[in-house]
Amino acid sequence: MNSAREIKQLQKAKSKAQKNDNLREEATICNQLGELLSRSGDYEAAIGEHTQELSLSEVLNDVIGRAVAHRKIGECYAEMGNIKAALEHQRLHLDLARSVRDHAEEQRALATIGRTYLFRYESDQSRNSLEQAEDAFLKSLGIVEDRLKGTVSVQEVSEMKARLFLNLGLVCDHLGETKRCNDFIRRSSLHCGEESAAGGSLPCKL
């Protein structure tokens, strides 16, 4: 199914949810529409959908729904190059995840913040951006290692670690820390191997 057709179908489903006063269904569709519009490069429209998702989640008192909406809005702003707005929404995502002790979502928030600082480094070339990215990735890694065991699958943990080690390797590469860079890349590859053996995708390629 092409994107334009899928968007039309989702818009039709959204109108039906609105007529039926089904706020939760409407919020879910806003999330799906936002993701599809973002993949199509229409970030302004995607932000509009996720902003609606945020409002609906507030009415529903859905804390994680609000957190996810902030993350999606932040990701759109990052793609548009508005790093300040991106980080504002991503920090709200982090705060909401922590408020309900959702460690998986907290880990995701920190990893997203780290990637955004890497985006910022591409334009400002500052050591501060790299240090902020490293701090966020290390905190995210700490949650994966200390708080997620038994709550998510071994495969998911391996995938999370592979991505974080790869990102830490990129940070160290930019910092000129060759030894640490090589160590993180090696550790990422090891977890990629575990993921591959489990029959999953290879996160190192992401």
CB of 181 closer than 8 Å to CB of 192: no
Question: Would the CA dihedral through 67, 68, 69, 71 be positive or negative?
Answer: positive
The pLDDT value recorded for residue 204 is 39
Q: Among residues of the chain, what percentage have pLDDT more than 90?
A: 85
Confidence of residue 2 (pLDDT cuts 50, 70, 90): confident
Q: Does the structure show a pLDDT above 60 at 154?
A: yes
This prediction's pTM: 0.88
Q: When comparing pLDDT for 89 and 150, which is higher?
A: 89
Of 2-6, 30-34, 36-40, 161-165, the one with minimum mean pLDDT is 2-6
**Structure-model confidence comparison of residues 3 and 42, the more confident one:** 42
Return the pLDDT at 194.
54
3-class DSSP state of 82: coil
pLDDT in tens, 3-27: 889 999 999 999 999 999 999 999 9
The candidate with the shortest Cα–Cα distance to 113, out of 97, 98, 93, is: 93
The mean pLDDT of 184-203, rounded to a whole number, is 65
205 pLDDT higher than 60: no
The dihedral over CA atoms of 152, 156, 160, 163, expressed in degrees to the nearest 10, equals -170
User: Regarding the domain delimited by 1-100, which CATH topology (the fold level of the hierarchy) does it fall under?
Assistant: 1.25.40
- How much is the pLDDT for 109? 97
Query: Would you state the torsion angle of the CA atoms of residues 62, 90, 45, 38, taken in this order, to the nearest 10 degrees?
Result: -100
